[in-house]
C-alpha cells in the first residue's frame, strides 16, 4: 500500500508540473512522518524517501534516538546500503517555540516555521554555538486566520532581510498553510499570494527564494502556482480503504 501510494503521489506531482511546463525534479517531496510508527518510516526510507517532515521537536528526538540521527536502519528486510542514509534530511514543518530553538538546531536540517525576529535570533544564537548552518523558511499567514501561525504578509520582507543578515541561518524561502477546503481550487488564491510576496521581495540580488506550500489535499494546485516543496503525509501513508 505504501509503495503504491508513494508512486501515485509522485505521478500526480509529475502531472501537475507538466500542466505548467515545469521540470518535475524542481519539486521536492517532503514526506510528513508525524505520528507514524518507526516501522513505517523504515519502509518509506527503503522506498527511496529522503526528506522527512516532523511537526514536533519531541517526536523527532524520540525517532532519531531510536533510529539514529540519519535513520541507521537494521533488521530483517532493511539493508542499510540500500537506504541512501547520508541523503536523509529532517524538516521541521510545525510551529516552533523559542524555548525549543536549541533542540531544533540540533535535530533538523531545515526549519519551515520562522515567524518572528525573536525566533530567528534564538535560532542564530544556538546555531552559532553549534557551529552549524540551518536552512530556514519564513512562515507567512497569508489567509489571516487567527488559528494559524506565521507573520503577516507585510512583515515577511523585513523578517527575510533580517535572516539573510544572520551568518548561521540560510534563508531558503517562504512557507504557508492554506485554509482547508473540500475543493482544492479554493486554496489557489493563497498560494498565488505567497508567490506574489516572493516575487515582490527584493531580499538580495543573489537570493532566490523557494516556496514551501501544499499538502495532501491541495498540493497539485500549489505546484501549479509555483510550489518548490510540498509537504505530504496523508496521501502517502493513509490507506484508501
How many Å apart are CA 16 and CA 100, to the nearest integer?
36
| Residue-wise pLDDT tens digits, 65-124 | 887 654 444 444 444 444 444 567 999 999 999 999 999 999 999 999 999 999 999 999
Q: What mean pLDDT value characterizes the chain? A: 90
Mean pLDDT across 52-59: 96
Top-confidence residue, 238 or 168: 168
Give me the pLDDT at residue 187, please: 97
HSE-CB for 86 with a 13 A CA cutoff: 1
Q: What is the pLDDT, as a whole number, of residue 205?
A: 52
Question: Pick from 39, 23, 231: which is nearest to 137 by CA?
Answer: 231
Dump pLDDT digits (tens) for 173-229: 999 999 999 999 999 999 999 999 998 866 655 568 999 999 999 999 999 999 999
Reported as a pLDDT band with limits 50, 70 and 90, residue 130 is: very high
**Res 200: pLDDT:** 84
**pLDDT for res 65:** 83
Name the residue ranges covered by the structural domains of the chain: 2-33+87-237
How much is the pLDDT for 203? 61
38, with CB counted inside 10 A (0-12, 13-18, 19+), is middle
> Is it true that domain 2-33+87-237 has CATH number 3.20.20.10?
yes
Angle of helix 188-200 relative to helix 156-164, nearest 10 degrees, comes to 50
Residue 204 pLDDT: 54
Q: How far apart are CA 62 and CA 40, in angstroms?
A: 15
Q: Considering the entire predicted model, what is its pTM?
A: 0.90
Q: Is the CB of residue 97 less than 8 Å from the CB of residue 115? A: no
- pLDDT at position 74 is 44
pLDDT at 79: 46
List, for residues 21-35, the tens digit of each pLDDT value: 999 999 999 999 999
Amino acid at each position: 500500500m505504501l509503495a503504491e501510494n508513494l508512486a501515485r503521489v509522485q505521478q500526480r506531482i509529475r502531472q501537475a508540473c507538466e500542466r505548467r511546463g515545469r521540470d518535475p525534479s524542481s519539486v521536492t517531496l517532503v514526506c510528513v512522518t508525524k505520528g507514524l510508527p518507526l516501522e513505517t518510516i523504515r519502509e518509506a526510507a527503503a522506498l527511496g524517501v529522503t526528506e522527512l517532515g516532523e511537526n514536533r521537536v519531541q517526536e523527532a528526538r524520540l525517532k532519531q534516538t531510536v533510529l539514529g540521527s540519519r535513520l541507521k536502519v537494521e533488521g530483517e528486510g532493511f539493508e542499510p546500503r540500500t537506504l541512501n542514509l547520508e541523503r536523509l534530511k529532517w524538516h521541521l514543518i510545525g510551529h516552533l517555540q523559542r524555548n525549543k530553538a536549541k533542540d531544533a538546531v540540533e535535530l533538523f536540517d531545515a526549519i519551515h516555521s520562522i515567524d518572528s525576529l525573536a525566533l530567528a535570533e534564538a535560532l542564530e544564537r544556538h546555531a552559532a554555538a553549534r557551529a552549524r548552518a540551518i536552512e530556514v523558511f519564513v512562515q507567512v499567514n497569508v489567509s489571516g486566520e487567527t488559528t494559524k501561525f506565521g507573520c503577516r504578509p507585510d512583515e515577511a520582507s523585513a523578517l527575510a532581510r533580517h535572516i539573510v543578515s544572520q551568518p548561521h541561518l540560510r534563508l531558503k524561502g517562504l512557507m504557508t498553510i492554506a485554509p482547508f477546503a473540500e475543493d482544492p481550487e479554493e486554496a489557489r488564491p493563497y498560494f498565488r499570494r505567497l508567490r506574489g510576496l516572493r516575487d515582490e521581495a527584493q531580499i538580495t540580488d543573489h537570493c532566490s527564494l523557494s516556496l514551501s506550500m501544499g499538502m495532501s489535499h491541495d498540493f497539485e494546485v500549489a505546484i501549479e502556482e509555483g510550489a518548490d516543496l510540498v509537504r505530504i503525509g496523508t496521501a502517502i501513508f493513509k490507506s484508501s480503504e
